[in-house]
Amino acid sequence: MLVLSWNLFHGRSVPDAPRSLLGDFAEQLAAWEWDVALLQEVPPWWPPALAAASGAEQRTVLTSRNALLPLRRLVARRRPDLIKSNGGGSNAILVRGDVIGVHARRRLRFRPERRVLHAVRLQGAGLWVANVHATANPKPLSREDMIEAGAALRRWAGGAPALLGGDANVADPAVPGFADAGGHRIDRFFVRGIPATVGYPDNPKPQSPWAQRLKKAHANAVENLVVFAALVLAANALGITGGAVATAAIVYFWARVAHAVVYAAGLPWLRTLAFTVAFFAQACVAWIILVR
């Protein structure tokens, strides 16, 4: 999964562009490859258009300076660099290729600026992804915001894997219970539970009974494949390529498929029958070689 974090700088550019840059931002965002986009300092009227351009689903939370928003928007659409952050603010999560099952939010603080954490649970991936924009100054408040964001995400996610990303406003934040997955300067990512889903845990959960039986069926198939492959290769080397060998190979293949299915299903007599049929198919190939 590719997760992007981007502070949109309230829709501004350097140097100043005296016009709305919504189309420019939407085009760039749509061109990048990502599954989840965590956006900060977004003009509050932008997220639906950004999501539509990217073929994504979106969830938004308002942050600070949103009183009299229609008047702020009137100026920001014409001279974004003139009004700057006073044009209104929001954070947004955009999701491609999955479905947002739950959207949760929590206000981290009201002063000196309103800061809000929000997160979504991806139904397909079973993963929680949270977006945060921590307080800019003073820096101790930035660190407090990140700690509180991690605590809130742990409560929402429960035992599910979770990712916290966004603008931490400090280059070395700490989030208890999460591992630092890297980032660029103050844009950081923290994960919890994700390594266990893709790595090799020291104490894995026990397999279900059917999975254990299927594992045994696979081991048995590998053991018998050694004998069957040797017989077929020997027959081919001796120039024995008649219909009897081909028929025995087909019978062997389907008998082994049936053996794996009934073994996993826990059907003992059918399992024995399938094994016996495959064994006699092997024996037929061996007999053809011996009487040649």
Confidence of residue 198 (pLDDT cuts 50, 70, 90): low
The token pair that represents 73 in the structure block: 């928007």
> What is the percent of the chain where pLDDT is above 90?
76
- Average pLDDT, stretch 136-141? 94
Q: Which helix (H) or strand (E) holds 288?
A: helix 268-290
**CA proximity to 243, closest of 285, 278, 280:** 285
Residue 196 confidence (pLDDT): 52
Residue 7 is encoded by which pair of tokens? 């502070």
Confidence grade of residue 207 (pLDDT, cut at 50, 70, 90): confident
For residue range 34-53, list pLDDT tens digits in order: 999 999 999 999 999 999 99
Chosen CATH of 3-198 out of 1.10.1740.10, 3.40.640.10, 3.60.10.10, 3.30.1360.200: 3.60.10.10
Query: Is 109 exposed, middle or buried (CB count within 10 Å of its CB: 0-12, 13-18, 19+)?
Result: middle
The more confidently predicted of residues 47 and 82 is: 47
Q: Is the pLDDT of residue 200 over 90?
A: no
| Predicted confidence band of residue 195 (pLDDT cuts 50, 70, 90) | low
Token pair in block for residue 19: 């016009």
- What pLDDT is stored for residue 204 in this prediction? 60
Mean confidence (pLDDT) of the chain: 92
Distance CA 217, CA 215 (A): 5
pLDDT at 281: 93
Average confidence (pLDDT) over 235-258: 90
pLDDT tens sequence across 111-123: 999 999 999 999 9
Which tokens sit at 48? 């639906």
**Average of pLDDT values for 226-231?**
92
Question: How far does CA 182 lie from the centroid of its chain?
Answer: 17
